[in-house]
Amino acid sequence: MLKNKNIILGVCGSIAAYKSAILIRLLIKAGANVRVILTADAENFITPLTLATLSKNPVYTKYFEEETGVWSNHVELGLWADYMIIAPVSANTMGKMANGLCDNLLSAVYLSAKCPVYYAPAMDLDMWKHESTRANVEKLNSFGNQIISPSSGELASGLYGEGRMAEPEEIINFLIDHIKKDLPLAGVKVMVTAGPTYEPIDPVRFIGNHSSGKMGFAIADEMAGLGAEVTLICGPTAEKSVRQVQRIDVTTAAEMLEACTSNFAHSTISIMSAAVADYTPKHPALQKIKKKEEEFSIDLKKTTDILLTLGQLKSPAQILIGFALETENEEENAKYKLKKKNLDLIVLNSLNDTGAGFQKDTNKITIFNRAEEKTVYTVKSKTEVAKDICNQILKLYQA
C-alpha cells in the first residue's frame, strides 16, 4: 500500500518524539519516500541528524536556513505529499491546525497540503481531556483529517491514563487500512497463478519450461495495490512479491491443480498466468536414471487442464482470466481457448513478437473479451503490462 508513496512526517515537541524514529524505519521498509519536518520544540527531544539518517532525506526545521541559504518551499512540500502524518502532534500544534494559525514551517505545510492528513496526539491525561483539546479534535476531524487516537498507559508525568501516542506499528496499520478502504478492489479475493511447473522424470530431472513467473508476480502486486486480498500460487521461481500477498508454492501441475481448486470457490477474480505443463511422466523413476542406453524414451500422460476445470466450476459472479502463449494462428487459437474454457478475458502473447515471451522484463499483449473484441497493446515493461491487464479486469468487475 505504501510503496513509492510520498509521505511528510511532522514531529512536534513531545517525549513521544522518539517513536518517530521507529515510524520512519517502518515507512521506509514499506517502500515509502519520507520527508520529515521538525518543530523547534521537537528538536529538544530528537535530533534532525537522527531522522535525516533514517529517512535518507534532509530534515526541514525552518522556512529559511540561514547557514545554507536554503528556503523550504512549504507549498511545494504540501503538493509533493501523497499523505501527511503528524506524529506526535502536541496540543499546541493541534490548536494551530484547528484555527488556521501559521507561525512555523509545519503548520504552513499543513495548510498547503492537498493530501489526506493523519495526526497522532501525544500529551498528558488532563491536557487530552481538556474541553479546548476536545473542541480542537472535533474541528480537525470536521476538516477531513484522520485522528489516530492515543492509547492508555503510563504517561511521562507518572500518571496513568489516555494520552500515549499510538505505537508506530499501529500508525502504519491504521494508514494501510484507511488507504485500502478507498481502493477499488478493497477486500476482494483474487487468485493469481505464476511461473512454470516441473514434472519429475526422476529425483534429479524434470520436464519444465522457461517461464520466470515475472508476469504473474507483477499482476499479483498490481492487484494487491488495488486493495485486493491476493492468493498467489506459483511454481518454482526466484521472483519475490513486492506487496503483501498470500503465497502458495507448488512444483507440479497436480499440486497447482489442487491449490487452485482449493482456493477458486473463495475467489471473485482468478488470473491464470502460470505456464502449466501439458504432459507429465507416467512413471517417474524413484532413483536417478543411469546413462546406459543410446536411446531413451519416456511415457507421458496428459495433465488435468486447470483452466478448463475452473471454467466448468465458475459461477456467473466470478471472473476468470486465461493466458495464451502462441507461435502460430495466434488469434484463432486464443479465441478458441476463450470460448472452450469459459473465460471472461484471454491475454494473448506471441513468441513471434519482439519483446514478448519467457524470462524477459517486457511483454506485448493482445486482450480478447467474451465478445471477441480485441485490444492491442505495444511492448511495455511487465509492470506496465500488469496495469493494463488489471485495468481491463477492473472494468469487468465494476460493470
Q: Is residue 347 part of a domain?
A: yes
Q: Which amino acid is at 343?
A: L
Domain of 104, in residue numbers: 6-181
Q: Look over the chain and give the mean of its residue pLDDT values, rounded to a whole number.
A: 92
48 CB burial (10 A radius; 0-12, 13-18, 19+): middle
Answer whether 159's CB lies under 8 Å from 125's CB. yes
- Distance between CA atoms of residues 279 and 118, nearest Å: 55
- Say which range, 61-65, 217-221, 309-313, has the weakest mean pLDDT: 61-65
pLDDT at 355: 63
Shared domain check, 202 and 117: no
Q: Work out the pLDDT band at 350, boundaries 50, 70, 90.
A: confident
pLDDT above 80 (res 72): no
Shared domain check, 300 and 202: yes
HEC string for 276-295: CCCEEECCCCCCCCCCCCCC
Q: What is the pTM of this model?
A: 0.74
Catalytic residue among 6, 92, 173, 209: 209
pLDDT at 265: 96
CATH of the domain at 248: 3.40.50.10300
pLDDT above 90 (res 243): no
Shared domain check, 28 and 141: yes
Respond yes or no: is residue 209 known to be catalytic.
yes
pLDDT at 63: 74
Q: Is residue 1 part of a domain?
A: no
Q: Work out the pLDDT band at 179, boundaries 50, 70, 90.
A: confident
DSSP at 354 = T
Q: Is residue 314 part of a domain?
A: yes
pLDDT digits (tens, 9 = 90+) for 18-50: 999 999 999 999 889 999 999 999 999 999 999
End-of-domain residue from the set 118, 152, 181: 181
Shared domain check, 133 and 29: yes
Answer whether 303's CB lies under 8 Å from 254's CB. yes
Domain count, the chain: 2
Shared domain check, 210 and 76: no
Contacts of 52 (CB under 8 A, 6+ apart): 36, 58, 59
Q: Is residue 247 part of a domain?
A: yes
- Say which range, 271-275, 352-356, 359-363, has the weakest mean pLDDT: 352-356
Residue 188 three-state SS: coil
Nearest to 123 by CA among 162, 166, 70, 163: 163
Residue 175 to residues 3, 5, 148, 281, Cα–Cα distance (Å): 13, 12, 9, 50
